[in-house]
Amino acid sequence: MSNNKIINWFKYASPQSFYPVAGRMIPWFWGLAAIFFVVGLYISFFVAPTDFQQGEGYRIIFIHVPAAWMSMFIYLVMAFWAGLGLALNTRLSSMMAQALAPTGAIMAFLSLWTGAWWGKPMWGAWWVWDARLTSALILFFLYIGFIALQAAIDDARRADKAGAILALVGVVNVPIIYFSVKWWNTLHQGASVSLTKAPSMATTMLWGMLIMALAFWMYSIAVALTRVRAIILEREAHTEWVKELPEVKQ
């Protein structure tokens, strides 16, 4: 009996069996994302109180902070899948890494862009060479490098492996870059504006932010799964099972 309860995870490591599973999961993640977005945005705009220091402008953090979190988190997940693909030689893992990269890059860009919108009214500048901003910018460059490298290699398997090495080198470097930029910043400017010293947040604000983070998370999964399905179709186009798919036959 107990054997029946164990899910054979390796079964889903094959693109053929993962493709329909992903297709069934996508609507759920889209649904969850929509619910969390509606609830999160409602809290952010109507429930969360106006900040007495920052006024209404602070509400951009409900987009900004989740995007920044996701940009870092997705890089780790991407490197994990890429590393797994390199170690176990599973094609699907590398496809997952490839599918996550554009979403991560968009999140990094979104966090930079909304950060600039927030910074202008709060700090009086679109951009300051703060440690967080600078390391977010470099993270964005790392994403672009990963995408560019994979796009430049025609052979899909070589692209997977080369991208995996780059992602792993990047993962080792991200903390080094973060701390080096942090120390560089403290040496250069001394007193800079710091988010960590901000007054503790009201509970509703924190809830709004967490729910928005969940919304971003669900959205990222839904988009990544949609993209990985497209990648599977593209790469497995020569196989029989893809040719037999009803959506391909049409």
Partner 1 sequence: MNAVMAIIRRDLLLAMRRKSEVLTALFFFIIVVSLFPLGIGPETALLRKIAPGILWVAALLATMLGLARLFAPDHADGTLEQMVLAPAPLGLLVTGKIIAHWITTGLPLVLLAPVLGIQFDLDTGALGILVVALLLGTPLLSLIGAIGAALTLGLRGGGVLLSLLVLPLYVPALIFGAGAVEAHISGLGAGGHLSLLAALLALAVFFAPWATTAALRIALE
Task: Report the interface residues with partner 1, using CB under 8 A.
Answer: 138, 141-142, 144-145, 148-149, 152-153, 157-158, 161-162, 165-166, 168-170, 172-173, 176-177, 180-181, 183-184, 187
Spatial distance between the Cα atoms of 100 and 228, rounded to a whole number of angstroms: 8
Give whichever of 74 and 209 is closer to partner 1, judged by the CB atom.
74
**DSSP type of residue 44:** I
Give whichever of 44 and 94 is closer to partner 1, judged by the CB atom.
94
Closest approach of partner 1 to the CB of residue 138, in Å: 5
Give whichever of 177 and 232 is closer to partner 1, judged by the CB atom.
177
Give whichever of 146 and 216 is closer to partner 1, judged by the CB atom.
146
Closest approach of partner 1 to the CB of residue 172, in Å: 7
Among 246, 202, 151, 183, CA closest to 47: 202
Amino acid at site 47: V
Give whichever of 1 and 187 is closer to partner 1, judged by the CB atom.
187
Spatial distance between the Cα atoms of 59 and 209, rounded to a whole number of angstroms: 10
Give whichever of 180 and 192 is closer to partner 1, judged by the CB atom.
180
Spatial distance between the Cα atoms of 99 and 79, rounded to a whole number of angstroms: 12
Closest approach of partner 1 to the CB of residue 171, in Å: 12
Among 61, 66, 71, CA closest to 117: 61
Could you tell me the CA-to-CA distances from 200 to 19, 37, 64, 203, 227 in Å, in that order? 45, 24, 17, 9, 39
Residue 20: other Cβ atoms inside 10 A: 11
Residue 80: other Cβ atoms inside 10 A: 17
Could you tell me the CA-to-CA distances from 9 to 14, 180, 226, 232 in Å, in that order? 10, 40, 20, 18
- Record the tokens describing residue 233, joined without a space: 């179709």
Closest approach of partner 1 to the CB of residue 157, in Å: 8
**DSSP type of residue 196:** T
- Record the tokens describing residue 36, joined without a space: 């969390």
Closest approach of partner 1 to the CB of residue 196, in Å: 21
Closest approach of partner 1 to the CB of residue 145, in Å: 4
Closest approach of partner 1 to the CB of residue 238, in Å: 20
Give whichever of 41 and 147 is closer to partner 1, judged by the CB atom.
147
